[in-house]
Amino acid sequence: MRTISDKKIILGVTGGIAAYKSAEIIRLLKTAGAKVRVIMTPGAMEFIRPLTLQALSGNPVHHQLLDEKAELGMSHIELAKWGDFIIVAPASADFIASMAYGKADTLLGAVLLATNAKVTVCPAMNTSMWLHEATTFNVKQLTDRGVKIIGPDIGIQACGDNGPGRMSSPSEIANEIIECTQPREMAGQKVVITAGPTQEWLDPVRYISNQSSGKMGYAIAQAAEEVGADVTLISGPVSLIASPRINSFGDICRGDA
């Protein structure tokens, strides 16, 4: 996992059984070097204790809309200005609806209205709730406003139903957030990279080749993708696997291809 030293991330936790996964998200982000502060809704505190998330984040957990200890008592403004990124994980169907309509009846809702930070939402709910047209409409409202949506995954849920609605894994969420923080100097540029050995066929059974492992080409392709390039990787026969975000074509150098 790459580092994101000094990035300030606010994790919003809403009410749902997936709230326990928020602890692992905090651990992964802290391991990567981020500074993390947590905002919990009243429902979230029914599923996981604030003390747990406070211990993992190293900061007090925020949950009161009106906080006398905050600057001028306006904790939502203070937090909105502090964060570089805001992640809502898990995001319940109810909170997604509230967020879509700009409700500010919780501290998390008020912070999201006041912030200029990049916002990511990680839905977690029953399959029927996720597939309902009202949720589909609300999610589209958020994406149209530039909110990034991660997940949900497909699988067996706490209620026993099987289908889309499970919150994405903490590692996937953390990796996506880390990707978003990386510099994108080559955004919009297209790069073609060749890697690995070539094979010049002399006849159906013999060819001239070399001992290239392809490791350098694959490393260059990965580095270019990480800074925003649209990468096409063309490689000879190698035992390497490229990132799924790279357009890779392998073993196409044969004379009879």
pLDDT digits (tens, 9 = 90+) for 19-30: 999 999 999 999
| Pair 161, 125: CB distance under 8 Å | no
Find the helix or strand (DSSP H, E) in which 139 lies. helix 133-144
Enter the tokens of residue 128: 């029927």
Round to whole Å and give the CA distance between 7 and 177.
11
The answer to which of 36-50, 98-112, 138-152, 229-243 has the lowest mean pLDDT is 229-243
Residue 119 bridge partners (DSSP): 86
3-state secondary structure 157-168: CCCCCEEEEECC
Pull the structure tokens for residue 215: 């490791």
Measured distance CA(250)–CA(57) in Å, rounded: 43
- In this prediction, residue 124 carries a pLDDT of 94
CA 96 to chain centre: 17
Residue located via tokens 């530039």: 146
Question: CATH assignment of 8-181?
Answer: 3.40.50.1950
Inter-residue contact 120 to 88 (CB < 8 Å): yes
Give the three-class secondary structure for 241. Answer: coil
Residue spans per domain, the chain: 8-181, 190-250
pLDDT at 254: 40
In terms of DSSP bridges, do strands 85-91 and 35-40 run parallel, antiparallel, or are they unpaired?
A: unpaired
Structure tokens at 33: 């070097």
The pLDDT confidence band at residue 255, using thresholds 50, 70 and 90, is very low
Of 122, 159, 180, 253, catalytic: 159
253 an active-site residue?
no
pTM above 0.95, yes or no: no
Q: Is the pLDDT score of 180 beyond 80?
A: no
What pLDDT is stored for residue 70 in this prediction? 57
Summary count for the chain: helices (H), strands (E): 9, 12
Per-residue model confidence (pLDDT) at position 182: 66
Residue 115: count other Cβ atoms within 10 Å of its Cβ: 20
